[in-house]
Structure 1
Amino acid sequence: MKKISSQFYKKRTPIVAMSYKNYLNKPEEVGLLVEEIILGLKESKTEFMECFLFPSMGTIETVARFCKGSNLGFGAQNIAPQKNGAYTGEFSIESLIALGGRYVELGHFERKTLFFETNQQIKEKIHLTLSESMIPVLCIGETIKCEGQMLEEILMEQLKELLSEINEEKVVNVILAYEPGWAIGQAKPASIAHIHRSHTCIRRCCERLFTKEIAEHIRIIYGGSVSLTEVSEIVDHQEVDGVFVGRFGHEVNQFLEIIQRVSQMKEE
């Protein structure tokens, strides 16, 4: 496949991220996996890539210990809306900072459907994350498959509600993860054509909300049943800056191969 060429490309570092959700919860097991990933990254030529994990809450401290001094980052799958206070059972951003984490996953489809998280709650967490100089990975996407003007209206509404009050200097630090709800957990991702059209649409929405320059700096990655089979085609587009991997990355060799393929497609 051809290498991507874009005048804005060099300003956007490619990303491969992965969430363990609550599938991998034993510190010893996760520690071994992370150790293998770090070793694999050292042996590959992916220095210009940005790679990070979202471990389950009970294994964050273990992951932090292994990631220290490595080129593998990590973050939390959720945080409380305030740094501290009466938020029983929530994870504080203060803890994440103390452990050396940099990323916070926000607005995932499962948080909204299983835990009834609202856009207002997500918005508060975005502002808190940015105020602490951390990086929000904001999940957006439609629940039911749609195309064209309807899709753009849905995405624009989400982005406007979640990002419109953020300072322009800070909004470029938000990573947008396009995750259509109807594709999560499926055997295959959305079609390549749909992914590419949707990312172009998101970039256009960002331009409408902010400016063309800001829109071109915001990174947009695809999540939603990303596997080794389709990853090269998924990122073979100038508006797709990487992927957000789920269960298909639990096998270390597969995850490292996904990183390698993204690296090859986005090579400087």
Structure 2
Amino acid sequence: MRKKIVAGNWKMNKTADEGLALVSEVVNMVNAEVTGDVTVVLCPPALYLTTYKPYLTGNKLALGAQNCHEKASGAYTGEISAPMLKSIGVDYVILGHSERRQYFGETNAQLAEKVNSALENGLTPIFCCGESLEMRENGDYLGFVKAQITESLFHLTDEQITKVVIAYEPIWAIGTGLTATSAQAQDMHFELRQHLAGQYGDAVAQEISILYGGSANAQNAAELFAQPDVDGGLIGGASLKSRDFVTVVKARA
């Protein structure tokens, strides 16, 4: 049975006090309202991770980071490594988000190294992949997204790949208000699972959780999550409002 996961990516939002209020509200709502078997991951800005960790400990929520460096240590001013994240109790780390690829020039080869570092340090990578609107309209998007997975993940062993969570995020639907239809999401998730099966076999592919990201919200989550290959969501804007986020969580529970 694949793990159901809803992760909230706060991006560069919330002051420390605002974030703490949001964490408290989400924890209370999840504990009171969510009874299903779903893993809830909160990914606040990195400087808040140690502050918020105690509020999640012993509750139904896990702590995630939004990025990590590929090296374990060194002269990389401003960066944070996977061993550092692990040392403060982080469980998950988002890697390869389209904004990291676009604004910081992250490559598939670099992301392969980041995935390695995360796994070596006991973190669960949430590996993001997805296509632009231009690629979607030109019809060459499937090969592009498959290449992201091939070049960043297919060096892993069968055991390692089952520890990776994949998040499909159509770039054209991130922060735009546009959302892939449930049929579009299912089609892509199915194709990605088939791509994984081609490399690792169907049994392994069926163990890997594939999340949908891209303007998933309280209104459309239930329809998206009803699709057989959509195992949860990587939630952006809706994760910044406690009621909206918990509504999404309940749709997956």
TM range (shorter): over 0.9
Matched residues, percent identical?
31
Residue matched to 2:23: 34
1:148–1:204: structure 2 CA closer, same or farther, 3 Å change rule? farther
Question: 1:21 is aligned with what amino acid?
Answer: K
Counterpart contact for 1:35–1:66, Cα < 8 Å: yes
Residue matched to 2:47: 58
Residue matched to 2:230: 240
| Deviation sequence 1:70-105 (CA, Å, 0-9, x none) | 221111111111111111110122221121111010
Structure 1 position 63, deviation (Å)? 1.6
Question: 1:154 is aligned with what amino acid?
Answer: F
1:222 is paired with a residue whose SS is: strand
Task: State how far apart, in whole Å, the 2-side matches of 1:62 and 1:188 are.
Answer: 34
1:175–1:147: structure 2 CA closer, same or farther, 3 Å change rule? farther
Is 1:188 matched with 2:178?
Answer: yes
Is 1:102 matched with 2:116?
Answer: no
Residue matched to 2:201: 211
Task: State how far apart, in whole Å, the 2-side matches of 1:46 and 1:120 are.
Answer: 40
Residue matched to 1:125: 114
Residue matched to 2:69: 80
1:204–1:261: structure 2 CA closer, same or farther, 3 Å change rule? same
Structure 1 position 152, deviation (Å)? 2.8
Alignment of 1:134-213 (within 5 A): 134-144=123-133, 145-146=135-136, 150-213=140-203
Task: State how far apart, in whole Å, the 2-side matches of 1:47 and 1:86 are.
Answer: 44
Is 1:257 matched with 2:243?
Answer: no
Question: 1:183 is aligned with what amino acid?
Answer: A
| Deviation sequence 1:24-67 (CA, Å, 0-9, x none) | 1x222211211111111111243511100110122112221221
Counterpart contact for 2:126–2:167, Cα < 8 Å: yes
Task: State how far apart, in whole Å, the 2-side matches of 1:129 and 1:156 are.
Answer: 21
1:47–1:62: structure 2 CA closer, same or farther, 3 Å change rule? farther
CA RMSD after TM alignment: 1.5
Task: State how far apart, in whole Å, the 2-side matches of 1:29 and 1:248 are.
Answer: 15
Task: State how far apart, in whole Å, the 2-side matches of 1:139 and 1:84 are.
Answer: 24
Counterpart contact for 1:20–1:246, Cα < 8 Å: yes
Tell me which moved more, 164-173 or 142-151.
Answer: 142-151
Task: State how far apart, in whole Å, the 1-side matches of 2:189 and 2:137 are.
Answer: 12
Q: TM-score, structure 1 length as denominator?
A: 0.90
Tell me which moved more, 141-150 or 238-247.
Answer: 141-150
1:159–1:147: structure 2 CA closer, same or farther, 3 Å change rule? farther
Residue matched to 1:69: 58
Residue matched to 1:6: none
Number of aligned positions between the proteins: 252
Counterpart contact for 1:184–1:225, Cα < 8 Å: yes
What runs of 5+ residues in structure 2 fail to find an aligned partner?
none
Counterpart contact for 2:70–2:117, Cα < 8 Å: yes
Counterpart contact for 1:123–1:162, Cα < 8 Å: yes
Counterpart contact for 2:186–2:229, Cα < 8 Å: yes
Structure 1 position 258, deviation (Å)? 1.1
1:230–1:48: structure 2 CA closer, same or farther, 3 Å change rule? same
